[in-house]
């Protein structure tokens, strides 16, 4: 029996994870370990300075899962080590409410959970619905794709320490225009800090902002979503800018301590 670890960053009560669970149950046994509350934009954070809890939950439909007080990344390590006792064939993170495209990958708790799966050497993917309005998302097309992709990934495992980042356009399923294998695009924000004033007259700030509109590269994840294609981006953990290695090696740092060696 295939053993699947399912997590997210929107919290264990978010509809997207339940849609994923239902679809993935056709493939194997699904172990759901997710944050007890909304942890979007947690990035790859882990919890070091307080105890972690794994609280069993039985939902009204009889399905079970574990809610944690940790981050999405904590959910993967707790799920793998404790709940699944180190026996896991696939890590799935999502289905996230909202896109995880371009540079947002480094903020994303959804993607970070799949990164943690990759760190553990387990085939992993993150999946998001690229909806800007997240109240009325239909998760079914993304859930069906999650099951399809899970089967492909299990049949043809990718090299260890890689993962897939999937974004599904928020359109009715009949409007989808296939699957695009993409590279990571860019996403920049403008007007990010929104200042307000509290009733005592002190300033406070919201992080918000809107996306800088530019023309995305053909072939990137942002472009695929605009084209109503499901975007699948292979991701690895190495952030090195290889093109800069030789240039930096030519810099003369002239460390005094090394001068006479
Ligand atoms: Mn989220």
How much is the pLDDT for 260? Answer: 63
Task: Write out pLDDT tens, residues 104-151.
Answer: 999 999 999 999 999 999 999 999 999 988 889 999 999 999 999 999
Is the pLDDT assigned to residue 208 strictly greater than 90?
A: no
- What is the per-residue pLDDT for 209? 78
pLDDT band at 81 (very low <50, low <70, confident <90, very high): very high
Q: How far is the CA of 39 from the centre of ligand 1 (A)?
A: 7
Distance 10 CA to ligand 1 centre (A): 4
Please give the distance, rounded to the nearest whole angstrom, from the Cα atom of residue 42 to the centre of ligand 1. Answer: 9
pLDDT at 254 over 90: no
Q: How far is the CA of 96 from the centre of ligand 1 (A)?
A: 5
Per-residue pLDDT at 135:
83
Ligand 1 center to 11 CA (angstroms): 8
- How far, in Å, is the centroid of ligand 1 from the Cα of 110? 6
Query: Which residue's structure tokens are 């399923």?
Result: 173
Residue 247 alpha carbon to ligand 1 centre in Å: 38
Q: How far apart are CA 236 and CA 245, in angstroms?
A: 19
Burial of 200 (0-12, 13-18, 19+ CB in 10 A): exposed
pLDDT at 258 > cutoff 90: no
C-alpha 109 to ligand 1 mean position (Å): 7
50 alpha carbon to ligand 1 midpoint, in Å? 23
Residue 241 reports pLDDT greater than 80: yes
244 Cα to the center of ligand 1, angstroms: 33
Q: How far is the CA of 121 from the centre of ligand 1 (A)?
A: 24
Percent residues over pLDDT 90 in the chain: 86
Calculate what percentage of the chain has a pLDDT beyond 70: 99
Three-state secondary structure string covering the chain: CCEEEEECCCCCCCHHHHHHHHHHCCCCEEEEEEECCCCCCCCCCCCCCCCCCEEEEECCCCCEEEEECCCHHHHHHHHHHHHCCCCCCEEEEEEEECCCCHHHHHCCHHHHHHHHHHHCCCCEEEEEEECCCCCCCCCHHHHHHHHHHHHHHHHCCCCCCEEEEEEEECCCHHHCCCEEECECCCCCEECCEEEEECCCCCEEEEECCEECCCCCCCCEHHHHHHCCCEEEEEEECCCCCHHHHHHHHCCCCCCHHHCCC
Distance from the alpha carbon of residue 261 to the mean position of ligand 1, in angstroms = 53
CA of 257 to the centre of ligand 1 (A): 49
Cα 18 to ligand 1 centre (Å)? 14
- pTM assigned to the model: 0.94
**189 falls in which pLDDT band (50, 70, 90)?**
confident
Q: Where do the domains of the chain lie, and which CATH numbers do they carry? A: 3-258 (3.40.1210.10)
pLDDT in tens, 2-34: 999 999 999 999 999 999 999 999 999 999 999
What's the gap in Å between 101 CA and the centre of ligand 1? 12
State the pLDDT at residue 23: 98
């Amino acid at each position: 029996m295939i053993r699947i670890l399912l997590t997210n960053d929107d919290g264990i009560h978010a509809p997207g994870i339940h849609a994923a669970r239902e679809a993935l149950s056709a493939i194997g046994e699904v172990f759901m370990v997710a944050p007890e509350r909304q942890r979007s934009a947690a990035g790859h954070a882990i919890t070091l300075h307080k105890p972690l809890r794994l609280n069993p939950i039985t939902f009204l439909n009889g399905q079970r899962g574990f809610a944690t007080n940790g981050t999405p990344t904590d959910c993967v390590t707790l799920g793998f080590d404790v709940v699944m006792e180190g026996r896991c064939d696939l890590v799935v993170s999502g289905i996230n409410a909202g896109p995880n495209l371009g540079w947002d990958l480094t903020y994303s708790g959804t993607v970070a959970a799949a990164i943690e799966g990759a760190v553990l050497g387990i085939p992993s993917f993150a999946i998001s619905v690229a909806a800007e309005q997240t109240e009325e998302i239909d998760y079914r097309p993304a859930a069906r794709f999650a099951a399809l992709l899970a089967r492909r990934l299990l049949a043809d495992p990718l090299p260890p320490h890689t993962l897939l980042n999937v974004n599904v356009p928020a359109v009715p399923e009949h409007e989808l225009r296939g699957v695009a294998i993409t590279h990571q695009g860019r996403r920049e924000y403008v007007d990010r800090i929104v200042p307000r004033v509290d009733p005592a007259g002190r300033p406070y700030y919201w992080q918000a902002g809107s996306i800088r509109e530019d023309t995305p590269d053909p072939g990137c994840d942002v472009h695929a979503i605009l084209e109503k294609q499901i975007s699948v981006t292979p991701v690895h953990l190495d952030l090195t800018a290889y093109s800069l290695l030789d240039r930096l090696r030519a810099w003369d740092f002239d460390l005094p301590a090394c001068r006479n060696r």
